[in-house]
């Protein structure tokens, strides 16, 4: 049982590392904002998987990484949603929306 | 807070109040002028109180820590008081003059705010008891003077401002480098104790000295760092008066005195062999400034080069390091201030009322504007060294000091310099008094309309003071006696 | 309720409140500014006696959240509160209730409070993961605010911020894998056990944080983002946001991994910092736009912070004070917060008044906008490191540390940096005084707006005059390596 856990930990960690590498390639190779954003998400998933993998050991499963991964996923979700929205606005509205908003409102 | 702590604070804060008030009371000239004069008078009162105290052997000190062990120290010793008294007296005179000079012109609020800030800085420099305090006020002076130099906003003034900043900020960097180098080995330096140079090799100590003097030399206008001073003539006349007599160049010269006597100490300077090269540099500046002054036909420019030359007398006295030379140098700090401010007051009145800015326009001015030109003439004669005006006393003591220190060539420098002084001042007096009036000169009636006693009286007063300082040099509390007191305390601790 | 949690939580509470209050949300700053500043002041007083700490709900780490404030943290919390308060009040002039209706009147305030909460959380956290969450909150608000100016610059900023965050997170994960903890003090105890893997993790963390701090050569995103943003946003980004990642970086090396940094690492920080000073200053001198100039000045000024790595522990024997370089870092962080925010606010007012953002447009403004010009001048004095100002205290202490430890080259860079700062800051200052006429200006939405930069400038100056108390606080409870130097410290 305990060996199995440690084994699983290695699998998670190695998969995580592979995902990080894949995502990093995507980040370097792609220029489009959305594609880079997806690359970031792939890297993020890899980091979380790696993190989860470190919690597995012969002594049992450490709950701390799992608790932190949940938090991390929430943060990553929020960031991705915001980044996607920003990318969409950039594509639709241009660099800035002069005159429509607060240009004359004040310094 | 005891009186001993209160005095230095009051002396620094006295000009700060009108600085702030001037900035706030931008539309109300009368209130502003009243506050300016009131606080200048108040400061004179505090100075009188302190003079009595210091002469009796008291000293006043106030300190506050920047970081543990590094203190801002304001300390009134005899040397500090010499400079404070000069600045307080001339501040009063210049304030009155500036009120009359700038009447009706634009942006007086800003002018008086920075003008008073300069006086704050000068008082702080005078009373600095530690190197860091000195540097703080020295830089406040740099910053507060710049808006005055560029006050008119003309292209010429802006260019002068750039030159001024280039020289003074580079000088400040050198000074700061010297200070931190020194303090990184000796700990914070206070003037009362002097610097502990044991951590430095003689070469390092000499290099630090060069950095310090080089940094101070930029304000003192030692050659080759003098070019900003003639350029700064673009400023209004009261500013020039202040720059040349009390604030900027004097701050540099005063710093040189402090470095030689209270940081290194005369024995160390002599042991390192640094006094003589500095004396030589000062002598070269004296001669060079006079030669350049000869070539200028603009009155203010001629006066500016004269300042380059005259301020170096102070440095010369300090670097010769004999009792008499010290007295000569220190007393010149006061005498040059009184005489030069008179000259600039006069030049300002000439330009403002008669439109005279060039020497060739001076013909016959003396009889049209007798009080102004009389004051101007007394100061000019003093600069040449004609007894009994104050300048003679300075030169006399410097010459004896040079002889005492075994540097008899100083006497030759003084003689040549005095001849050059005569060569560039006497033609002015000749034209003003003995030549017939030039056709372009306004006549008596036209001049009468622009006559205000506030513009004329300060110059007359400072000229009288310069004359009095020479005539009554032997009296107690004369600048000479005070300088002798300081020298006594340096040499007989 | 523990003071530290109150400080981290109060801006979050105002974030929610501003969302609920809708179009009245702007007015909350009148409550938030005094309340949070008072809390920070109270914390500074408490920290003066002893370092503060606490765990949320009594749950201890690793599962609970523990917060800590040392002297440096307390000083920065207070400076940050002051800067954010003044900037927030200033922002009423553009996003206040009396301004014309706009979407940004609603979105500015939650983002503002979120940014403030992120700053406070970074300053009191000592756990790598908590720091991650805090700096993500900070980054997302910062990017969103930067998008107020230029979306393209915001996207570029976001890419760097995301990449930096992921590198940081990966480093934190590796540290956990190697040492089984994310707490700074525990890391410091266990780090020598797994030196090699910790160093790899530290490299990732450092790289990520350097990108977020915009240390040369990773600074490219900063000038467009800071230069294009609206006034209040530029001030927040330049004064506060970049400092947060630097503080984490300093804490990681000085508290978490003392003794692990070899000479090579330390020199690398020093060289990059020096390069940032020179490069940022040169580019600032060449700018023709006022805000671009100030933004490049930030690139240069951030370089000074990295000099603390080589200078810490620099020959304290000759001086009566200890930890000069650490104090210099504290002064530089606080003084730059105040002065840079003030400079951006003053610049914004002048650009609005003059109707143009080039330096040449400022001609004669000292006559038309005297208060704003004075504020600009005061902030500039501190940035140039001229006395009396907090910037000067930083420079002086840094110079002494450099010379006392025989590192002349850094002293030369610092002095040259000061002169170059004067060169680029006197360019706009000279324009303010130039010309003989009084230019006509557009009236400000509210006259008292000019007081905001004046308060910040005066505070930057006061920091240099009344420096004894702030210094004592900055060095109270400092990490051992901050006093002894990174290399000398026992791991």
CA separation for the pair B90, B119 (Å, rounded): 10
Count of the separate structural domains present in chain C: 1
Read off the tokens for C220.
Answer: 């490219």
Determine contact, residues C162/C153, Cβ cutoff 8 Å.
no
Residue A11 lies in a domain: yes
Is pLDDT of A2 > 80?
no
Residues of chain C positioned with their CB less than 8 A from the CB of A44: 166, 169
φ, ψ (nearest 5 deg) of residue B44: -60, -40
Q: For residue B5, give Cα distances in angstroms to B70, B78, B119.
A: 18, 16, 20
Q: Where are the alpha helices (DSSP H) in B357-478?
A: 365-368, 370-384, 390-404, 409-434, 444-449, 453-471
* Rounded Cα gap, residues B56 and A87, in angstroms: 79
CB atoms within 10 A of CB C369: 24
List, as one string, the DSSP characters of C324-351: HHHHHHHHHHHHHHHHHHHHHHHHHHHH
3-state class (DSSP) for residue B66: strand
In sequence order, the β-bridge partners of residue B60 are B76
The ipTM, to two decimals, is 0.93
Give the pLDDT band (50/70/90) at residue C427. very high
Closest CA to C228 of C293, C143, C160, C150: C150
Give the whole-angstrom CA distance, residue B68 versus residue C463: 15
Residue with tokens 């001339």: B90
Q: Does a structural domain hold residue C352?
A: yes
Per-residue pLDDT, C389: 93
Taking Cα atoms as reference points, which of A90, A96, A89, A104 lies closest to residue C102? A104
The minimum CA-CA distance between C12 and chain A, rounded to whole Å, is 16
Q: Across all residues in chain C, what is the average pLDDT?
A: 90
User: What's the pLDDT score for residue C483?
Assistant: 82
Pairs from C52-55 (Cβ < 8 Å, separation ≥ 24): C52/C3, C52/C4, C53/C4, C54/C2, C54/C3, C54/C4, C54/C5
Q: For chain C, what's the residue count?
A: 491
Q: Is the pLDDT of residue B190 over 50?
A: yes
Q: What pLDDT does A97 receive?
A: 64
Q: Is residue C489 part of a domain?
A: no
In which band, very low, low, confident or very high, does the pLDDT at C439 lie, cut at 50, 70 and 90? confident
Angle, helix B390-404 to helix B370-384, in steps of 10 degrees: 10
* For chain B, percent of residues with pLDDT exceeding 90: 28
pLDDT of A62 over the 50 cut: yes
Residue B476, Cβ density class (10 Å: 0-12 exposed, 13-18 middle, ≥19 buried): exposed
* pLDDT at residue A101, rounded to an integer: 47
Q: Is the pLDDT of residue B290 over 50?
A: yes
More confident residue, C478 or B141: B141
Contact yes or no for A86 and C151 at CB 8 A: yes
Q: Is the pLDDT of residue A103 over 70?
A: no
The alpha carbon torsion through B183, B187, B189, B193 (nearest 10 deg) reads: -140
Give the total number of structural domains in chain A. 1
Q: Let me know: does C326 contact C478? Beta carbons within 8 Å.
A: yes
Using a 10 angstrom Cβ sphere, with 0-12 exposed, 13-18 middle and 19 or more buried, the burial of residue C264 is exposed
Nearest-angstrom CA–CA distance, B17 and B23: 10
Residue found under tokens 């949940």: A70
How close, in Å, is residue C120 to chain A by CA atoms? 18
Query: Which segment of A38-52, B93-107, B369-383, C277-291 scores lowest on mean pLDDT?
Result: B93-107
* pLDDT of residue A99 exceeding 50: no
For residue C9, the model assigns a pLDDT of 93
Smallest CA-to-CA distance from C314 within C409, C215, C203 is with C409
DSSP labels, B189-245: -BTTT---GGGS-HHHHHHHHHHHHHHHHHHHT-TTS-THHHHGGGS-HHHHHHHHH
Which of C61, C127, C159, C170 to probe the A interface (max A CBs under 10 A)? C170
Within 8 A of B183 by CB-CB distance, chain C residues are: 318-319, 400
Best of B74, B142, B184 to mutate (most C CBs within 10 Å, chain C)? B184
Q: In chain C, pLDDT over 70 holds for what percent of residues?
A: 98
Q: Please state whether beta strands C66-69 and B70-76 pair in parallel, antiparallel, or not at all (unpaired).
A: unpaired
- Is the predicted pLDDT of residue B363 greater than 70, yes or no? yes
Q: Which chains touch C (3 or more CB pairs under 8 A)?
A: A, B
**Residue from the list C366, C386, C400 with its beta carbon closest to the beta carbon of B143:** C386
Residue length, chain A? 107
User: Are the C-beta atoms of residues B407 and B276 closer than 8 Å to each other?
Assistant: yes
Q: Is residue A99 part of a domain?
A: no
* Closest-CA residue of chain A to C347: A107
- Encoded tokens for B364: 């016959």
Q: Tens digits of per-residue pLDDT, C50-73?
A: 888 888 777 777 677 788 888 999
pLDDT per residue as tens digits for the range C194-243: 788 899 999 999 999 999 999 989 999 999 999 999 999 999 999 999 99
More confident residue, C301 or B14: C301
Interface partners of chain A (CB pairs < 8 Å, 3 or more) are C
Whether C262 shows a pLDDT value over 70: the answer reads yes
Write the residue in C318, C399, C436 that is nearest to B153 by C-beta. Answer: C436
Residue C490 lies in a domain: no
Q: Is C439 on the interface with B (CB under 8 A)?
A: no
- Asked, for residue C315, whether it belongs to a domain, the answer is yes
Dump pLDDT digits (tens) for B149-161. Answer: 888 888 888 999 9
- C491 in any annotated domain: no
Q: Give the span between the Cα atoms of B432 and B363, in whole angstroms.
A: 5
pLDDT in tens, A5-15: 778 888 888 99
Lowest-pLDDT range, B305-309, B400-404, C318-322? Answer: C318-322
- Do residues C352 and C427 make contact, with C-beta atoms less than 8 angstroms apart? no
pLDDT band at residue B17, thresholds of 50, 70 and 90?
confident
Chain C 253-282, residues with CB within 8 Å of chain A CB atoms: none
Domain residues for the domain of C450 are 3-484
In chain B, what residues touch C421 (CB-CB under 8 Å)? none
Residue B63's beta-bridge partner residues?
Answer: B73
Taking only residues 336 to 355 of chain C, the set having a beta carbon closer than 8 angstroms to any beta carbon of chain A reads 348-349, 351-353
Contact yes or no for B120/B12 (Cβ under 8 A): yes
How many B×C Cβ pairs under 8 Å?
A: 112
By residue range, what is the domain housing residue A10? 2-93
CATH of the domain at A25: 1.10.287.3510
Q: What is the mean pLDDT of residues B29-51?
A: 87
Category of C323 on φ-ψ map: left (φ > 0), alpha (ψ -120 to 50) or beta: left
Where is mean pLDDT largest: A93-97, C97-101, C145-149, C278-282?
C278-282
Average pLDDT over residues C381-401: 93
Residue A102 lies in a domain: no
Q: Among partner residues C318, C320, C468, which is closest to B185 by beta-carbon distance?
A: C318
SS3 state at C127? strand
């Amino acid at each position: 049982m305990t060996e199995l856990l440690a084994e699983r930990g290695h699998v998670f960690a190695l998969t995580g590392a592979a995902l990080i590498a894949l995502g990093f390639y995507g980040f370097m190779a792609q220029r489009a904002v959305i594609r880079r954003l997806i690359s970031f998400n792939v890297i993020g998933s890899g980091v979380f998987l790696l993190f989860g993998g470190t919690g597995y050991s012969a002594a049992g499963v450490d709950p701390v990484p799992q608790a932190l991964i949940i938090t991390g996923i929430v943060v990553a979700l929020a960031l991705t949603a915001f980044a996607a929205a920003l990318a969409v606005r950039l594509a639709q509205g241009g660099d800035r929306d002069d005159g429509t908003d607060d240009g004359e409102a004040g310094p | 807070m005891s009186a001993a702590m209160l005095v230095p604070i009051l002396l620094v804060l006295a000009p700060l109040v009108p600085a702030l008030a001037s900035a706030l009371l931008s539309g109300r000239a009368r209130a502003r002028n009243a506050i300016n004069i009131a606080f200048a008078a108040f400061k004179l009162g505090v100075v009188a109180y302190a003079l009595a105290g210091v002469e009796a052997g008291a000293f006043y000190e106030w300190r506050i820590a920047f970081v543990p062990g590094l203190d801002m120290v304001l300390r009134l010793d005899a040397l500090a008081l010499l400079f404070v008294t000069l600045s307080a007296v001339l501040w009063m005179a210049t304030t009155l003059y500036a009120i009359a000079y700038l009447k009706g012109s634009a942006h007086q609020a800003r002018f008086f705010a920075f003008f008073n800030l300069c006086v704050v800085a000068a008082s702080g420099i005078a009373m600095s008891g530690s190197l860091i305090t000195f540097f703080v006020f020295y830089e406040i002076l740099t910053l507060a003077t710049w808006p005055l130099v560029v006050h008119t906003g003309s292209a010429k003034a802006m260019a002068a401002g750039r030159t001024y900043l280039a020289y003074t900020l580079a000088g400040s960097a050198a000074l700061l480098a010297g200070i931190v180098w020194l303090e990184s080995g000796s700990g914070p330096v206070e003037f009362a104790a002097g610097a502990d140079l044991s951590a430095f090799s003689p070469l390092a100590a000499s290099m630090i000295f060069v950095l310090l003097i080089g940094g101070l030399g930029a304000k003192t206008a030692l050659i080759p760092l003098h070019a900003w001073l003639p350029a700064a003539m673009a400023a209004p006349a009261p500013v020039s008066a202040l720059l040349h007599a009390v604030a900027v160049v004097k701050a540099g010269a005063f710093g040189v005195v402090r470095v030689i006597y209270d940081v290194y100490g005369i024995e160390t300077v002599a042991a390192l062999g640094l006094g003589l090269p500095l004396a030589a540099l000062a002598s070269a500046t004296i001669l060079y400034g006079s030669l350049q002054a000869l070539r200028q036909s603009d009155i203010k420019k001629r006066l500016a080069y004269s300042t380059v030359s005259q301020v170096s007398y102070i440095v010369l006295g300090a670097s010769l390091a004999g009792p008499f030379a010290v007295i000569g140098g220190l007393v010149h700090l006061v005498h040059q201030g009184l005489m030069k401010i008179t000259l600039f007051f006069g030049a300002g009145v000439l330009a403002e009322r008669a439109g005279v800015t060039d020497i060739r326009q001076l013909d016959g001015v003396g009889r049209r504007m007798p009080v102004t030109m009389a004051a101007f003439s007394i100061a000019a004669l003093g600069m040449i060294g004609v007894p009994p005006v104050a300048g003679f006393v300075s030169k006399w003591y410097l010459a004896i000091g040079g002889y005492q220190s075994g540097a008899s060539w100083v006497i030759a420098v003084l003689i040549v310099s005095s001849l050059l002084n005569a060569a560039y001042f006497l033609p002015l007096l000749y034209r003003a008094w003995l030549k017939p009036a030039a056709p372009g000169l306004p006549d008596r009636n036209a001049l009468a309309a622009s006559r205000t006693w506030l513009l004329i009286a300060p110059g007359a007063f400072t000229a009288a003071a310069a004359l009095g300082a020479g005539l009554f040099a032997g009296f107690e509390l004369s600048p000479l006696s005070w300088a002798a007191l300081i020298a006594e305390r340096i040499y007989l601790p | 309720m523990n003071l530290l949690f109150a400080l981290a939580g109060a801006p979050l509470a105002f974030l929610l409140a501003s969302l609920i209050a809708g179009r009245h949300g702007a007015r909350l700053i009148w409550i938030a500014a005094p309340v949070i500043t008072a809390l920070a002041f109270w914390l500074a007083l408490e920290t003066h006696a002893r370092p503060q700490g606490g765990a949320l709900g009594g749950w201890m780490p690793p599962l609970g959240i523990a917060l800590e404030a040392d002297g440096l943290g307390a000083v920065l919390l207070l400076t940050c509160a002051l800067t954010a308060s003044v900037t927030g009040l200033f922002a009423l002039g553009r996003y206040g209730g009396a301004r014309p209706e706009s979407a940004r009147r609603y979105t500015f305030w939650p983002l503002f409070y979120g940014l403030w909460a992120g700053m406070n959380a970074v300053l009191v956290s000592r756990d790598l993961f908590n720091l991650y969450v805090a700096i993500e909150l900070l980054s997302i608000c910062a990017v969103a605010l930067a998008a107020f100016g230029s979306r393209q610059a915001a996207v570029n900023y976001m890419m760097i911020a995301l990449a930096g965050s992921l590198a940081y997170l990966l480093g934190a994960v590796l540290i956990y894998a190697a040492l089984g903890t994310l707490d700074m003090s525990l890391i410091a105890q266990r780090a020598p056990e797994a030196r090699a893997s910790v160093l790899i993790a530290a490299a990732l963390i450092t790289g990520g944080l350097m990108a977020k701090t915009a240390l040369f050569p990773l600074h490219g995103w900063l000038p467009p983002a800071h230069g294009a943003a609206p006034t209040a946003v530029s001030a927040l980004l330049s004064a506060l946001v970049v400092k947060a990642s630097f503080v984490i970086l300093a804490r990681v090396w000085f508290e978490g991994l003392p003794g692990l940094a070899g000479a090579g690492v330390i020199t690398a920080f020093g060289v990059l910092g020096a390069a940032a000073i020179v490069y940022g200053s040169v580019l600032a001198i060449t700018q023709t736009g006022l805000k671009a100039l100030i933004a490049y000045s930030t690139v240069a000024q951030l370089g000074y912070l990295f000099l603390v790595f080589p200078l810490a522990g620099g020959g304290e024997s000759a001086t009566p004070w200890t930890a000069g370089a650490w104090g210099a870092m504290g002064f530089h962080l606080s003084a730059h917060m105040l002065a840079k925010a003030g400079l951006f606010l003053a610049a914004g007012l002048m650009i609005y008044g003059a109707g143009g953002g080039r330096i040449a447009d400022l001609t004669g403004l000292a006559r038309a906008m005297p208060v704003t010009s004075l504020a600009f001048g005061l902030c500039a004095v501190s940035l140039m490191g001229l006395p009396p100002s907090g910037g000067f205290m930083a420079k002086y202490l840094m110079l002494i540390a450099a010379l006392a430890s025989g590192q002349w080259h850094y002293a030369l860079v610092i002095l040259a940096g000061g002169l170059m700062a004067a060169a680029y800051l006197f360019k706009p200052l000279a324009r303010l005084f130039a010309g003989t006429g009084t230019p006509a200006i557009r009236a400000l939405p509210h006259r008292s707006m000019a007081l905001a930069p004046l308060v910040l400038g005066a505070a930057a100056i006061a920091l240099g005059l009344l420096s004894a108390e702030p210094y004592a606080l900055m060095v109270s409870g400092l990490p051992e390596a901050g006093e002894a130097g990174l290399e000398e410290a026992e791991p």
